Amino acid sequence: MTTKQATKNHLLDAIHETAMDLHALGFIDKRKMQKYDALCMQSVPDYDSIRIRELRERYKISQAVLATVLNTSLSTVRQWEIGNKHPSGPSLKLLNILDRKGLESLI
């Protein structure tokens, strides 16, 4: 992580923590707090074919098992690993959870 990204994350964390404190004290309503939550969330990284294959091999699961865990088709996982398609939406977020928290978090 570069220094600029680390500083940005640190600042977003500080802003979010301050907003949560203000919300707890009643100065920020629920709707405004949801906006702060959305603005301060870190973006989900892209997963290319190599990264998906490495992730699958790290947990020693087949393409079929990965497809089941992500609630997608086997052919979709194959296309991701070939590089013809790229995960998006819920599949991308589930891949990120799998990467960060492990297989147990999705089962």
Instruction: For the chain, give every domain's residue range.
Output: 3-40, 49-105
Cβ–Cβ contacts within 10 Å for residue 6, how many? 10
Q: Does residue 64 carry a pLDDT above 80? A: yes
**Whole-number average pLDDT of the chain:** 83
Written as six digits, the tokens of 95 are: 């891949």
pLDDT at residue number 5: 47
CATH homologous superfamily of domain 49-105?
Answer: lambda repressor-like DNA-binding domains (1.10.260.40)
With a pLDDT cut of 90, the percent of the chain lying above it is: 21
In this prediction the pTM is 0.61
Burial state string for 64-101 with b = 16 or more CB within 10 A and e = fewer than 16: eebbbbbebeeebbeebbeeeeebeeebeebbbebbee
